[in-house]
Each structure stands twice: as C-alpha cells, then as structure tokens.
C-alpha cells in the first residue's frame, strides 16, 4: 500500500502537460487562420484596385477616340498636360468611392496619356484619299488606381497600374508635334 501512494498524482501531471500542448496547438491554429483571412482580404482589395486601373485605361481609350490632350509634346518626360483623366472625373463617371453610399469602395483611378509616335495607316486607309491621306497616332496610357476614402486622405496599402497603347487613325500626314 505504501508504494501505491507514492505513485499517485503522475496521471494528473501528464494530463496537465497534454492540455498545455493542446492549448498551444489550438492557439497556433487560430493564429494561422487569422493570417489566412487577412491575406484573403488584402488579395480582394488588390483585385478591386487592379480592375479599377483597367477601367481607367478603358475610360482613357474612349476619351481619346474623340479628343487629344492639349499641349501634348514628344518629350519623354510625359504628358505636358498632366492627368488626362483626373481622379475626380473618374469618380464622377464611375462612382468609385461613392458607390452605394460608400458601402462598397471600388477605388479611384487617374490616367496619363502620352503621344508616342506617328506611323503609316493600317491597310485600306491609305488607298482612299491618296498615299498621305491618313496616319496612325499611337498613344501610351498609364492608369494608376488605389482605394481611398472620399476625403482622399486615408489610403489603402494596395495600388495598381495598368498600361495600354491605343492606335488612333486620323486624317493627315505624320508631323512633328
């Protein structure tokens, strides 16, 4: 009977050690689940910003079909006019920040359009009005987008750029601008 009393309590100690190990494993699992959730949220925000940047290039493409930025030069420093599509203009047309009373912030974008070069027109255009009747103007567009609030003060970590080139066929020979 004396030996039995000396061995009592070791089961309790093993149970407490196992509970501590299980608690550490549980806390680690919860921590990893939180990291996965944050990664998913940041990925969703970045995809929204990428889509907003793509919408910016499409918006600039539609505007360039009917008008050119004023005071555009051939310098490599960029468009001398500044932003061809301003963030406020994008907000007005596509309700990026104000969409559904700010319940869903779709981001905002701004686009710079730079005249790149002039070249021969595509097949079919030059035969209609002589050899120098039409030309192709190439425009490089860079759209930058990000999530932000209506005050333009609180910025999201994610920012995206989309780049596109537009070929615009217009009347007239190539000339240095």
Assessment of whether the complete model's pTM goes beyond 0.85: no
Instruction: Evaluate whether residue 87 is within a structural domain.
Output: yes
Instruction: Evaluate whether residue 107 is within a structural domain.
Output: yes
Helix (H) or strand (E) holding 118: strand 108-119
pLDDT on residue 75: 45
Instruction: Evaluate whether residue 93 is within a structural domain.
Output: yes
User: Residue 75's Cα: distance from chain center in Å?
Assistant: 27
- Long-range Cβ pairs for the range 36-45 (8 Å, 24+): 42/157, 42/158, 45/147, 45/156, 45/157, 45/158
Residue-wise pLDDT for 54-77, tens only, equals: 988 998 888 888 887 765 544 444
Instruction: Evaluate whether residue 162 is within a structural domain.
Output: yes
Taking only Cα atoms into account, the Rg of the chain, rounded to an integer number of angstroms, comes to 30
Residue-wise pLDDT for 67-119, tens only, equals: 877 655 444 444 445 677 777 777 766 556 655 555 566 778 888 888 888 88
**What's the DSSP call for residue 109?**
E
Query: Does residue 18 register a pLDDT over 90?
Result: yes
Instruction: Evaluate whether residue 177 is within a structural domain.
Output: no
* Nearest residue to 115 (alpha-carbon basis) of 70, 161, 146, 149: 70
Please count the other Cβ atoms lying within 10 Å of the Cβ belonging to residue 146. 21
Please state the domain count of the chain: 1
Instruction: Evaluate whether residue 147 is within a structural domain.
Output: yes
**What's the DSSP call for residue 132?**
T
Helix (H) or strand (E) holding 146: strand 134-148
Work out the average pLDDT over 128-150: 75
Most trustworthy range by pLDDT among 6-10, 30-34, 163-167, 171-175: 163-167
pLDDT on residue 74: 43
Domain containing residue 71: 2-171
79 CB-contact burial (10 Å; exposed 0-12 / middle 13-18 / buried 19+): buried
Residue 19 pLDDT grade (very low, low, confident, very high; cuts 50, 70, 90): very high
Distances in Å between the Cα of 52 and the Cα atoms of 7, 48, 57, 126, 131 are 70, 6, 9, 37, 41
Work out the average pLDDT over 20-25: 94
Instruction: Evaluate whether residue 70 is within a structural domain.
Output: yes
Query: Does residue 22 register a pLDDT over 90?
Result: yes
Instruction: Evaluate whether residue 176 is within a structural domain.
Output: no
Given a contact cutoff of 8 angstroms between Cβ atoms, the answer to whether 150 and 98 are in contact is: yes
């Amino acid at each position: 009977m004396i030996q039995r009393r000396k061995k009592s309590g070791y089961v309790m100690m093993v149970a407490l050690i196992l509970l501590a190990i299980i608690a550490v494993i549980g806390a680690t699992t919860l921590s990893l689940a939180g990291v996965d959730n944050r990664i998913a949220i940041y990925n969703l925000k970045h995809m929204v910003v990428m889509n907003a940047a793509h919408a910016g290039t499409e918006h600039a493409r539609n505007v360039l079909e009917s008008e050119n930025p004023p005071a555009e030069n051939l310098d490599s420093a960029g468009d001398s006019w500044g932003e061809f599509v301003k963030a406020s203009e994008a907000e007005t047309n596509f309700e990026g920040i104000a969409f559904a009373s700010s319940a869903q912030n779709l981001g905002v974008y701004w686009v710079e359009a730079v005249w790149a070069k002039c070249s021969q027109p595509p097949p079919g255009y030059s035969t209609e009005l002589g050899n120098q009747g039409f030309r192709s103007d190439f425009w490089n567009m860079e759209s930058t987008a990000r999530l932000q609030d209506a005050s333009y003060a609180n910025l999201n970590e994610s920012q995206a750029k989309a780049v596109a080139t537009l070929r615009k066929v217009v009347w007239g020979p190539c000339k240095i601008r």
